[in-house]
Amino acid sequence: MPLPAILKFLVNFGAMRFVLLILLLVPFGFTLAQSRVTLKQADQLKGGVKDGERFDRVIGNVIFEQSKTTIYCDSALFYRAKNTVEAFGRVRIIEGDSVTITSNRADYDGNTRIARLRNNVVFTKLAQATLYTDYLDFDRVKNEAYYFNGGRLVDSINTLTSRRGYYQVNTNMASFKRNVNVVNPDYTMKSDSLQYNSATKVIYFRTETTVIDKEGNTFVYEGGEYDTKTQQSDIKQGQAESPSYTLTGKKIKLDDLRKFYTVSGDVVMTHKEENLTIYGDDAIFDKQKGIAKVYNNAWLAQVTEESDTLFLSADTLVSIDSQDPAKKKLLAYHNVKIFKSDLQGLADSLEYRQADSMMFFYQSPVLWTSGNQMTADTITMLIENKTISKIFMTSNSFVISTDTIKNFNQIKGRKMTAFFRNKKLHQVVVDGNGESIYFALEDKTNLLMGMNKIICSNIVIRFKDARVNNLSFYTNPEADFIPPHELKKDDMLLRGFDWKINSRPDRKDVVKEQQQPTVEAPKRKGL
C-alpha cells in the first residue's frame, strides 16, 4: 500500500477510537454527575479541614440536591470528596413528591444514599401516615425508613408505637417490632410483631396479639389480618373473651361493624357463669343479638355438683345471652344426647332456661336414672343447687324400672312428677289416668310372689335405692293381684311399653372422640 494511503488509514482509525472512547465515557460521566451531591444555595460558605478532610461550612438557607432528593437546613458541613453532608438546624429532606422528613440533625451519604436523621424526626408520606421518632435512617435505594430506639406511626385511624420499625415507601407497608402498641377509638392492641399498610389500613398479625375493645372484650390472635376501615378480619388462630364468654378457634373472621363473628376449627366456647364449655368444628357469634351457635360435632360439658360433669351433644348448640335474665337460654337441636354419671337421655331438641334452671326435652324424649326409664311427649327437668331436683313428664308419661330379677315395674299416666333426693329417684306422683304394674317379691329370697295391676286416677310411687319400694293409690283404684302361675306375657306389659335400653347413651356416644379433653371448672375471672 502506498505511504499516503497508509497514513490516511491510521488517521481515520485513530479518529474512530477517539469517538468510541467519548461515547463510552459520556454515560459514565453522566452517571457520576447524577451521584454527586451538589450545593444549590447558602448565604455563607467557609472552607475548613477536619481530621485531614477538606470541607465547606455553609450557613443560612442551605439547599443541597442529589437526583430527586432535596435537603434543606440552617447550616451544614459539606465534604465534597466523600460526597457527604452533615446538616444541622431545621433539617428537611424531600424525596420526590411523596416523602418529607424533618429533624434537628441529619447525616447524608451521597454514595450509599442513606440519610441518618436524629432528634425530633418527623417522617411524612403524603397524607397517609406520619412517623415520629428521635432515630431514623432512610435508605433511598431501598426506599425504606427504619427506626431502632422507639417510634410512633400516626394516620387518620390508628396510632402505632414500637421499639423498632420499618416503613417501605413504595408499598406503604410498615413493620413493627418489640413492644408494639396500637391505639384506635374502638380498641387497643399489644404485640411483639405486626405489620400495617398505611394505604389500605390493613393490620397483619405476625405474632400473638392481644386486642381489647372499648367494651372490655379481649381477643388474642396468633396470625391473620384486620381491615381497620371495614372492621373485618380473617384470623388464623385466635381467642375472644368477654365478661361472660371465652371463644377460641383455628380460624376466626370478624365483622366489627355488624358485630358478627365466624369461627372454625377446634371451636371452644366457655360460658363462665354457668361453668359451661361448648365444643365443635364451626361456630358463629352475633354479638348484637347475643346469639352464639356451634355446629358440626357439637357437644358441651358442664361441671355440676361435686365436680360431676354433664355432657350433651347435638347437631347444633345455640347459646342466647341477654341483659334480661329471663331471655338467657341454651338450645340444642337435633339428635340430642346427654350423659351424666346418674342420668342419661335422648331427645330431638332441648331448651335450658338459665333464669329458673329449667331444662325442656322435646319430641320423643327418653331419660334414664339408674334402673329407671322415663318417657313422655315433653319432659321438663328442674335443676337446683347444681343437681336434679324434679322431672315433670307431660302427656303419655311412662316410667319403667327393673327389679332385682329383671321384671319390669311400670307406671303410666297423663302427667307425672318425679322427685329426687341425694341424686336418686325418690318418688313419682301420677296425676290422671294412672295405671301401674308392680311385681311383688319376697323380701329375703327375692322370689316372685305375684304381680299387682292397678288402675287409678292418682298414684304415688316411692323408691328405695332407685327401685320401687311401695305404692299409694287415690280416687277409686281398681286392683288385681295375679299369682306367678297365672301370669301371661300380655298381662305383664302396659299398653305403650317400649324398653329402649339399647339406645341408652354412654359417655363415648356424647363426647366426641377426637377431642375428649379433661374437663375442669372454668376459672371465674374478669378481663
> Any idea what the Cα angle at residue 90 is, between residues 85 and 95, rounded to 5°?
60
H/E stretch holding 509 reads helix 507-510
342 shares its domain with 381: no
pLDDT the model gives residue 32:
42
247 Cβ contact partners less than 8 Å away, ≥ 6 residues apart: 239, 240, 241, 261, 263, 267, 268, 269, 270, 283, 285, 292
Residue 302: domain span:
242-363
Domain CATH code at residue 404: 2.60.450.10
- How far apart, in whole angstroms, are the C-alpha atoms of residue 172 and residue 164? 17
Instruction: Give the model's pLDDT for residue 9.
Output: 42
Any idea what the Cα angle at residue 38 is, between residues 34 and 40, rounded to 5°?
A: 130
Q: What is the pTM of this model?
A: 0.70
**Pick from 320, 336, 363: which residue ends a domain?**
363
C-alpha cell at 33: 454527575
Whether residue 62 lies inside any domain: the answer is no
Tell me which of 314, 331, 363 is where a domain ends.
Answer: 363
CB 115 within 8 A of CB 138: yes
Residues 496 and 373 in one domain: yes
Domain co-membership, 354 together with 398: no
**Domain identity same for 467 and 359:** no
Task: Tell me how far apart the alpha carbons of residues 413 and 432 are, in angstroms, rounded to a whole number.
Answer: 6
- The residue ranges of the chain whose pLDDT is under 70 are 1-34, 305-306, 466, 513-527
The whole-number pLDDT of residue 489 equals 86
Cell numbers linked to 407: 321384671
Same domain, yes or no: 372 and 496: yes
Residue 452 identity: N
Integer Cα distance of 144 and 140 in angstroms = 7
Contact at 8 Å (CB) between 114 and 137? Answer: yes
Q: What is the pLDDT of residue 519?
A: 43
The H-or-E segment that residue 35 falls in is helix 3-35
d(CA 160, CA 188): 10
Cα distance between residue 519 and residue 396, in whole Å: 37
Are 496 and 383 in the same domain?
Answer: yes
- Cβ-in-10-Å burial (0-12, 13-18, 19+) of 439 comes to buried
pLDDT of residue 289: 87
Q: Is residue 349 domain-shared with residue 442, that is, in the same domain?
A: no
The answer to the question of residue 344 being in a domain is yes
Radius of gyration of the CA atoms of the chain, in A = 42
Decide if 358 contacts 342 (C-beta within 8 A).
no
AA letter at 31: T
Report the DSSP pairing between strands 218-227 and 232-241.
antiparallel
Q: What is the largest CA-CA distance in the chain?
A: 155
Tell me, yes or no, whether 72 lies in a domain.
no
441 shares a domain with 359: no
Q: Are 247 and 292 in contact (CB under 8 A)?
A: yes
Is there a domain that residue 321 lies in?
yes
- Boundary residue ending a domain (299, 330, 363): 363
Number of domains composing the chain: 2
DSSP state letter for 505 = P
- Residue 395's nearest CA partner among 380, 372, 414 is 414
Q: Can you tell me which residue has the cell 371465652?
A: 246
Does one domain contain both 348 and 441?
A: no
Output phi, psi for 35, to 5 deg: -85, -10
Please report whether residue 81 resides in a domain. Answer: no
Q: Which residues contact 133 (CB under 8 A, 6 or more apart)?
A: 121, 123, 147, 149, 150, 151, 152, 165
Helix, strand, coil share (%) of the chain residues, nearest 5: 10, 65, 25
- Shared domain for 373 and 495, answered yes or no, is yes
- pLDDT for 243: 75
Indicate whether 406 and 489 sit together in one domain.
Answer: yes
Same domain, 332 and 375: no
Tell me, yes or no, whether 91 lies in a domain: no
- Inside any domain, residue 21: no
Q: Are strands 291-303 and 329-340 parallel, antiparallel or unpaired?
A: unpaired
CB 368, CB 506: distance < 8 Å = no
Q: Let me know if residue 259 belongs to a domain.
A: yes
